[in-house]
Amino acid sequence: MGSEVEVSEPLLSGTNKISTFPSERVPEWKDQITIRGLAASAMLGTLFCIITQKLNLTVGIIPSLNVAAGLLGFFFVKSWTGFWSRLGFQVKPFTKQENTVIQTCVVACYAVACSGGFGSYLIAMDERTYNLIGVDYPGNRAEDVKNPGLLWMIGFLFVVSFIGLFSLVPLCKVMIMDYKLTYPSGTATAGLINSFHTNNGAELAGYFPYTWGWTIQLDQDKGNVQYRHQTERPSNYDDTLRILTEQRQKDETFLKDRIPSWFAASGYVGLAAISTATLPVIYPPLKWYLVLCSCIIAPALAFCNSYGTGLTDCNLASTYGKISLFIIASLVGSNGGVLAGLAACGVMMSIVSSAADLMQDFKTGYLTLSSAKSMFVSQLVGTAMGCVIAPLTFWLFWTAFDIGSPDGPYKAPYAVIFREMAILGVEGFSQLPKHCLALCCGFFAAALVINLLRDVTPKRVSQFIPIPMAMAIPFYLGAYFAVDMFIGTVILYIWERINRKDAEDYAGAVASGLICGDGIWTLPSAILSIFRINPPICMYFGPSSTS
């Protein structure tokens, strides 16, 4: 990449050659945020929150809906503008920047429903979960019960959901432009939006196979995917100039309206101070100094999670929340440790998750020439919507169904798990399996050494050293993830051997199409699940001894 920069700068310094490739006009950041866009975001955000709450309370696993948000945002606004145009009214053109802002706002809205704990740590506090575990269960105290309430849940979400948005803003250039992290869902969403908003987008759309399953190569050097839309193949020199022009415009657009670091730091400190003062009122066992310590540690964990999300597309915010749960529960002890641990889990999950979601959306904005400022504002607006819509949609389920009943459709399976983890955390590290802590510390040190080797060795050597974060994901999610990645890498390797030029041109588009197909299918899949429509065939594979 270093040689690429050295070549590109002299080429871009002259204007006589670049003028043959005019830059795309980018609207001002204020023009990218529209009333119709916010209205569409509110409607889609409500729909996605309902879907998320349904999945929260049934299976407890939420798929990424980023791609579906971009697609439905385009459909809504395009239908709106088409309707008024047929009636003879003049409407404002629908740009890909506005589409990106809508997608960002919708994702921020339903992300609150994902990280709000409506199927995990919040439900784990209620009386039903307390009774399910057992009144006589050691460490399960009646004092550690807090039943859901609409007002306090809305207040809690407003206090914690905005902090993470300010935590990594100063590092957005590092993550997106310097590290060139892929953020596969963000890249795929950008490819989808770009293909919708070009006159000859059909050429690229032909490389978007909407299919089940997705895979993309885990390679940091593939992080910057180019989407080119020419009808004929130019010479190599013109092709290079075109790529450099597009690259330069992306960089300039992204850096033009960057959020000042002082503003991000001030916002984080101010919101952390508010949460430190207010959270102990909502959860008395969670003392102010514990909240303050969580806010101090959170940016480092948010960076780790955002980095891992950029590599693997897996947001592991719940894992960092569980770490906070164990630590705070053990520090508080038996006198309120369960409630304090669950509340601390919510604080950490909200901060870490929103930071990763913001960086994912920044990647989409970078590839669609959207202003960083408009992306940040839409993220704030979407989060504010989510802090109201997510509790309201949950309250519909809470009042209409028997949530948490083992015999009902809404079992909230993770509620019992989170409460039992908090009870276990109260007992401290002594309750962990034998050698668990030693193994954790050993692999922590090994990850540091491996990363150090990747940084100090030449590229011809470092490219064969695995990334510890990417290695860790299959351990957490299962082998199917590693198998998908391996198959995708093999296909790309064979493609490069057969036709390297076409592989470089279209690998990103093919990978994005696969991700889009999987992402879009989550929407009808969730709708089928809501109406309790089961697959016609269910297969199960077990060991031979049990068959």
pLDDT tens digit sequence for 170-225? 999 999 999 889 898 899 889 889 888 876 543 444 444 333 333 333 333 333 33
Per-residue confidence (pLDDT) for residue 510, from 0 to 100: 75
In a domain, 464, yes or no: no
In a domain, 467, yes or no: no
Highest mean pLDDT among 14-28, 390-404, 427-441: 390-404
In a domain, 308, yes or no: yes
Which residues touch 15 (CB under 8 Å, ≥6 apart)?
none
- Residue 114 CA to residue 393 CA, distance in Å, equals 12
Q: How confident is the model at residue 291 (pLDDT cuts 50, 70, 90)?
A: very high
Q: Is the pLDDT of residue 235 over 90?
A: no
State pTM to two decimals. Answer: 0.78
Estimate the crossing angle of helix 35-58 against helix 96-115, to 10 degrees: 30
In a domain, 45, yes or no: yes
In a domain, 331, yes or no: yes
Per-residue confidence (pLDDT) for residue 321, from 0 to 100: 94
Count Cβ atoms within 10 A of the Cβ of residue 81 and give its class: 0-12 exposed, 13-18 middle, 19 or more buried: middle
Per-residue confidence (pLDDT) for residue 290, from 0 to 100: 96
In a domain, 337, yes or no: yes
- Residue 152 CA to residue 144 CA, distance in Å, equals 16
Domain that holds residue 162: 28-200+207-432+478-530
Domain total of the chain = 1
Per-residue confidence (pLDDT) for residue 215, from 0 to 100: 35
Average pLDDT, the chain: 82
Per-residue confidence (pLDDT) for residue 19, from 0 to 100: 41
Per-residue confidence (pLDDT) for residue 31, from 0 to 100: 92
- Alpha-carbon dihedral of residues 56, 58, 59, 64, nearest 10 degrees? -40
Cβ–Cβ under 8 Å, residues 79 and 104: no
In a domain, 11, yes or no: no
In a domain, 328, yes or no: yes
Q: How confident is the model at residue 232 (pLDDT cuts 50, 70, 90)?
A: very low
Q: How confident is the model at residue 523 (pLDDT cuts 50, 70, 90)?
A: low
Cβ atoms within 10 A of the Cβ of 489, count?
A: 15
- Residue 115 CA to residue 97 CA, distance in Å, equals 27
Which residues touch 225 (CB under 8 Å, ≥6 apart)?
182, 187, 190, 191, 367, 508, 509, 512
